């Protein structure tokens, strides 16, 4: 309907109506050139506790959405407006990043079916016809707001899940890895990810999926080592009812579940040879056959595989099919070990600490710089996964600041009991006693009289001497000495006992 004046009036400010209890209610923007319609809708909505903002034109609505004092949670838009019509307004709303997700309900008294279809295609949440029914309006508004809230919650959950799979690192090794992922992700190529356990091979596969054209499709992870040999075919390709004892109904396998997305075959090196042959056939033909079925099914799946084994050696030992190896390793990626990217340890430790505190409702904790230095001296055969476990345990044991005392003992250090036995046990050569006379000059030095030290014996002597020097320089303060030596206090006590060090002993 035509507007009452040539220039659109300024948009009305939102009404301060609140929900019972004082919580701010959702704001509904009513866009209609008829003042009576706006007033009627405002009364109905305010009666249910909503805040209401009004605009007599699309242009006024855009101004309010861009510069209004209160954010708008939903818009009721008349289709026939002076100047820009309701469909044009809806299109502008969907094109603006700030309002892209705003739920919009279109209303009209002169619309055709085609108008309603266009509105829904442009993203309208609902379509009301005039004269408006009070209950229909309230139900539609409630449903649109609820769906919008659920959509935001889903996106928030996705973001939280995604943060768990974020790859962290600025080291040269990680920068090379990121470049490789960027290159291969947009392609259809199969990828074989190798590396030690705990280096983040699954994170690499998820990053490839997320950056690929299949990102909106499913990501299905399969642990090949965890599936019994007799069930691997059924799990991968599915089965029909009655295919075997216990098959009470049809079941989709992992290949079908990953249709249109990515299938990640973790620990592929542990897959049975018979299953390998069927996986190869599926990769080559793009078709699978359920157990107990005679009909093949087409699947559109990109396969990523990972293993901590040397597959070339497995091929040579006839434990892995050579043709499958070449089919998977179109683009090989090596996941770097933590020892090859120690520059990233501090950032990783901080990220693990923050994530653990968030997930468990704990106050955020900081890490003493001395702890970083101690962590960097460890060998980390368990790689990033081991670091994550150590940080989480320290978070549980510590106060506001994680200290050396909160770190668990390094299980990969040589057991001191073994060291003591190795220094004086069977098969070792005891060092000459203190004060033993040296053989006269020119005397023949026979091997039994002056035995050579093993590497362990030499290391033990050097380590013992250095511990005594540090303790003596710190007036035998065990805690301070442990910090200087970069070991846990309990470990230092064990070494003192193992080496038989006595308090006051001179270096």
What per-residue confidence (pLDDT) applies to 8? 42
In whole angstroms, give the CA distance from residue 361 to residue 396: 12
- Neighbouring-strand partners of residue 367: 402
Over 80: is that where the pLDDT of 300 sits? yes
> For residue 262, which of 319, 304, 228, 226 has the smallest C-alpha distance?
304
Q: Kindly provide the b/e burial profile for residues 471-503, where b requires at least 16 CB atoms within 10 angstroms of the residue's own CB.
A: beeeebeeeebbbebebbbebbebbbebbebee
- At how many degrees (to 10) do helices 172-184 and 201-210 cross? 40
In whole angstroms, give the CA distance from residue 94 to residue 87: 11
What per-residue confidence (pLDDT) applies to 191? 96
CA torsion sign for 476, 478, 479, 482 is: positive
Over 60: is that where the pLDDT of 19 sits? no
C-beta separation of 308 from 195 below 8 A: yes
Share of the chain above pLDDT 90, in %: 51
pLDDT tens digits, one per residue of 203-226: 999 999 999 999 999 999 999 999
> For residue 423, which of 457, 385, 375 has the smallest C-alpha distance?
457
Spell out the alpha helix ranges (H) of 241-382: 254-257, 273-285, 311-316, 322-328, 345-359, 369-376
What per-residue confidence (pLDDT) applies to 337? 95
SS (H, E, C) 68-135: CCCCCCEEEEECCCCCCCHHHHHHHHHHCCCCCCCCEEEEECCCCHHHHHHHHHCCCCEEEECCCCHH
> For residue 269, which of 231, 306, 235 has the smallest C-alpha distance?
306
Q: What is the mean pLDDT of residues 82-87?
A: 90
pLDDT band, residue 1 (cuts 50/70/90): very low
What per-residue confidence (pLDDT) applies to 258? 94
Share of the chain above pLDDT 70, in %: 85
Beta strand pairing status for 126-129 and 104-108?
parallel
Q: Please state whether the predicted TM-score (pTM) of the whole model is above 0.85.
A: no
What per-residue confidence (pLDDT) applies to 427? 39
CA torsion sign for 365, 371, 377, 381 is: negative
Over 70: is that where the pLDDT of 105 sits? yes
pLDDT tens digits, one per residue of 478-497: 888 888 888 877 778 878 88
C-beta separation of 324 from 212 below 8 A: no
Backbone dihedral region for residue 83 (phi beyond 0: left; psi -120 to 50: alpha; all else: beta) = left
Cα–Cα distances in angstroms (integers) from residue 458 to residues 227, 422, 461, 466, in the given order: 48, 12, 5, 12
């Amino acid at each position: 309907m035509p507007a009452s004046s040539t220039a659109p009036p300024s948009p009305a400010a939102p009404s301060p109506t609140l929900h019972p209890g004082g919580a701010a209610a959702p704001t509904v923007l009513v866009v209609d050139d008829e003042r009576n319609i706006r007033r009627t809708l405002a009364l109905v909505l305010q009666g249910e506790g909503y805040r209401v903002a009004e605009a007599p034109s699309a242009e006024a609505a855009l101004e309010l959405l861009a510069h209004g004092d209160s954010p708008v949670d939903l818009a009721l838009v008349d289709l026939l407006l002076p100047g820009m019509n309701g469909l044009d307004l809806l299109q502008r709303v969907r094109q603006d990043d700030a309002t892209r997700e705003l739920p919009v309900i279109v209303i009209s008294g002169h619309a055709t079916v085609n108008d309603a279809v266009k509105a829904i295609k442009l993203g309208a949440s609902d379509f009301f016809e005039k004269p408006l029914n009070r209950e229909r309006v309230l139900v539609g508004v409630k449903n649109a707001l609820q769906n919008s809230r659920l959509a935001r919650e889903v996106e928030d959950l996705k973001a939280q899940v995604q943060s768990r799979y974020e790859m962290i690192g600025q080291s040269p090794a990680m920068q090379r890895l990121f470049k490789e992922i960027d290159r291969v992700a947009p392609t259809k190529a199969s990828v074989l990810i190798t590396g030690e356990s705990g280096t983040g091979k699954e994170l690499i596969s998820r990053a490839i999926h997320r950056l690929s054209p299949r990102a909106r499709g499913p990501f299905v992870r399969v642990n090949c080592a965890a599936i019994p040999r007799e069930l691997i075919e059924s799990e991968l390709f599915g089965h029909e009812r009655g295919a075997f004892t216990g098959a009470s109904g049809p079941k989709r396998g992992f290949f079908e579940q990953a249709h249109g997305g990515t299938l990640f075959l973790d620990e592929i090196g542990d897959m049975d040879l018979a299953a390998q042959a069927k996986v190869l056939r599926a990769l080559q033909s793009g078709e699978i056959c359920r157990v107990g079925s005679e009909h093949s099914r087409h699947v559109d799946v990109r396969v990523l595989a990972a293993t901590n084994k040397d597959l070339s050696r497995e091929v040579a030992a006839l434990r892995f099919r050579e043709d499958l190896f070449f089919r998977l390793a179109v683009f090989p990626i090596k996941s770097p070990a933590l020892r090859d990217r120690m520059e990233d340890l501090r950032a990783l430790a901080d990220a693990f600490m923050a994530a653990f505190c968030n997930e468990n409702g704990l106050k955020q904790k900081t890490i003493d710089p001395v702890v970083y230095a101690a962590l960097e001296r460890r060998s980390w055969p368990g790689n990033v996964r081991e670091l994550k476990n150590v940080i989480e345990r320290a978070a549980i044991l510590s106060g506001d600041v994680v200290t050396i005392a909160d770190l668990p003992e390094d299980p990969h250090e040589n057991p001191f009991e073994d060291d003591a036995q190795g220094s004086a046990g069977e098969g070792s050569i005891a060092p000459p006693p203190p004060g033993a006379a040296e053989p006269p000059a020119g005397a023949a030095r026979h091997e039994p009289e002056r035995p050579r030290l093993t590497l362990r014996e030499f290391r033990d002597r050097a380590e013992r001497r250095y511990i005594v020097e540090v303790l003596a320089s710190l007036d035998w303060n065990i805690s301070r000495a442990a910090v200087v030596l970069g070991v846990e206090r309990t470990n230092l006590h064990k070494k003192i006992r193992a080496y038989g060090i006595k308090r006051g002993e001179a270096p």
